[in-house]
Amino acid sequence: MEMEKRLEVISELAQKTESKIVLIVFDGLGDIPIAEFDGKTPLESAKKPNMTSLARSSSLGLMDPIAPGITPGSGPGHLGIFGYDPLKNEIGRGLIEGLGIGFEFTEEDVAARFNFATMDSSGAIIDRRAGRIESNEAALLCGAIQEKIKEIDGAKVFVRHVKEHRGVVVFRKKGIGGNLPDTDPQKTGIPQLEPIPLDEKSKPTAEITKKFIYQVNAILSGRNYANTLLLRGFSSNIELPSFERLYKLKPCAIATYPMYKGLAKLAGMRVVQGCNTLEEEAKALEENWENFDFFFVHIKKTDSAGEDGNWDAKKKVIEEGDRTIVSTALKKKPEVICITADHSTPCKLKSHSWHPVPVLIHSPASIPSDESNIDFSERQCARGTLGRFNALDLMPLLLSNAGKLAKFGA
C-alpha cells in the first residue's frame, strides 16, 4: 500500500473529540526467552498486576516498527510509532543528538555528532573515545572550542556538549547539505577520514568541516588525550507534519531522555520538562491530564537494561513502569491505553533487534483473547486478536479505538 496516500486519507478522516489516548512506550521492551531464566522473557516473568489486568480486557498483537527483519534505531523506531514512514523520513544521528539536548534547529542547519578522541603525534587515532572522559571535562573543552570558533566560511558554528565524551556540532548556513560520510574511522591506528561530500550541496559543508577539525586540533594541540574529535551522523533538519495537523490531536510528551523529547518535538508535541524518574513521569501525566488529548510516555531504562544484558534489571524496570505510569494511566480512565515499544532489545543479544514488539490496546472496542490466563507478553501477543501489523498502522488504530476516525467512503 502506498503510505503517503494512506496518511492523507487518515488525516482527512481524523476528527477532534473529547476522548483521550495514552501511548506508553517501554523502550526496547521486546525480548527473547532465555533458558537460564526459566525459559522466559523479562516481560513474561515480571509481576505487573496493572498490565496483566489490562491484558485481559485488551486487544493484543505484534508490531513491526519498520519491517520484518529490520532492526530499528531509536529515531526510526519512534517515527514509525508516530505514523511517519521511517523509510521515507530518515533522521540522521546528528539531528537526533541535537534534539536530545534541546537544540533549536532551523531549516539552514546541518548537525553532526562528535566524540572527543585521542590521536598520537602522527595523527593516528589511538582512542576513539578519549578514555571516555568525564562530562565536566568534555563540557569545558566544548566551551573552549565554541569560544574560539564562531563562524567558518560564513556558516555559524554551534558546539554543544551532550554527555561524557559526546557532543554535537551544528553548521548554520543557507543551502548547505548534510550528505557527508563519518570522519570517525571506526578503528584505531589510522587517521580520521576526510569529509568527502556526497552531493553538490554538501561541498561547502565538507570545506567547513575540514576547517572545523583543523581549528579544533589547533585549540586542543597542547593535550595528550582528548586532543581531537571525530564526526558522525551528518544530517540536515527534516520537517514532519505535526500531530495537530495530521491527527487533530493536542499531544503531550513525557520522557526523561533528551533524544525522545526531541523526537516528540519533531512531531509537534508539547514536551514536559524536568522529569528524571518514572515517578516524576507519572506525576507529569497526572498534572497535564486536562490540557491534552494524547500522551506519549516514554520509559527509557528497559532498553538500557537490555543493552547491558541485564535480565533482572529489565524485569525490574517493567515492574516499576507498571506500578507508576501504567497505574496512573489506568486511574485517569482514558478511552484508549496502548502499551508497546519502539523496538526489541533482547538481553541475550545486548543490542536492538528486529523482533516485532508486543502491543496492547485497551479501549471500549477492544477484543480480548478467548484463551484463559492471558497476559501481556511477546508470545501471547503473537496469538492476539490484532495479529501482526506495521507500526504505521498504530496511530490509525489508536484514533479509531478512541472514536476519532470517521468512516472511509459510503
Q: Which of residues 15-54 bind a second copy (CB under 8 A)?
A: 32-33, 44
Q: Which of 45, 50, 58, 74 binds a second copy (CB under 8 A)?
A: 74
281 binds a second copy (CB under 8 A): no
407 binds a second copy (CB under 8 A): yes
Q: Which of 26, 36, 93, 144 binds a second copy (CB under 8 A)?
A: 93
**Closest CB 291 distance from a second copy, rounded Å:** 26
Q: Which of 21, 26, 43, 72 binds a second copy (CB under 8 A)?
A: 72
Cβ closest to a second copy, residue 15 vs residue 277: 15
Q: Which stretch binds a second copy (CB under 8 A): 115-123, 242-250, 318-326, 376-384?
A: 376-384
Q: How far apart are the first and last CA of the chain?
A: 21
Q: Which stretch binds a second copy (CB under 8 A): 69-77, 164-172, 177-185, 268-276?
A: 69-77
Contact 128, 188 (CB under 8 A): yes
Cβ closest to a second copy, residue 74 vs residue 209: 74
Q: Which of residues 198-237 bind a second copy (CB under 8 A)?
A: 233
Grid coordinates in use for 109?
Answer: 542547519
Residues in contact with 57: Cβ distance below 8 Å, sequence separation at least 6, in sequence order: 362, 366, 368
Q: Give burial (CB, 10 Å; 0-12/13-18/19+) of 219.
A: middle
The angle that helices 394-401 and 3-13 make with each other, rounded to 10 degrees, is: 20
Cβ closest to a second copy, residue 124 vs residue 382: 382
Q: Which of 127, 281, 322, 393 binds a second copy (CB under 8 A)?
A: 393
**Closest CB 103 distance from a second copy, rounded Å:** 15
154 binds a second copy (CB under 8 A): no
397 binds a second copy (CB under 8 A): yes
Q: Mind giving me the DSSP string for 3-56?
A: HHHHHHHHHHHB---S--EEEEEETTBB---BGGGTTB-HHHHS--HHHHHHHT
Distance of CA 224 to the CA centre of its chain: 35
86 binds a second copy (CB under 8 A): yes
- Pick from 68, 113, 107, 118: which is nearest to 95 by CA? 113
Alpha-helical (H) ranges within 85-225 are 93-100, 135-148, 203-219
**Closest CB 405 distance from a second copy, rounded Å:** 7
Cβ closest to a second copy, residue 81 vs residue 119: 81
Contact 20, 336 (CB under 8 A): yes
Contact mark string toward a second copy, 291..330, x via CB under 8 A:
----------------------------------------
**Closest CB 306 distance from a second copy, rounded Å:** 13
**Closest CB 256 distance from a second copy, rounded Å:** 19
DSSP 3-state assignment of 176?
A: coil
Cβ closest to a second copy, residue 143 vs residue 387: 387
Cβ closest to a second copy, residue 192 vs residue 401: 401
Sole residue written with cell 509537534: 268
Contact mark string toward a second copy, 342..371, x via CB under 8 A:
----x-xx-xxxxxx-------xxxxxxx-
CA 341, CA 345: separation in Å to the nearest integer?
A: 10
CA 299, CA 73: separation in Å to the nearest integer?
A: 16
384 binds a second copy (CB under 8 A): yes
CA 74, CA 77: separation in Å to the nearest integer?
A: 5
Q: Which of 28, 75, 204, 334 binds a second copy (CB under 8 A)?
A: 75
Q: Which stretch binds a second copy (CB under 8 A): 67-75, 146-154, 195-203, 205-213?
A: 67-75
Q: Which of residues 246-265 bind a second copy (CB under 8 A)?
A: none
Alpha-helical (H) ranges within 117-257 are 135-148, 203-219, 243-247
Number of residues this chain uses to bind a second copy (CB under 8 A): 75
Cβ closest to a second copy, residue 178 vs residue 204: 178
Plot region of 258 (φ>0 → left; ψ -120 to 50 → alpha; else → beta) = alpha
CA 360, CA 370: separation in Å to the nearest integer?
A: 15
- Pick from 297, 296, 295, 316: which is nearest to 305 by CA? 316
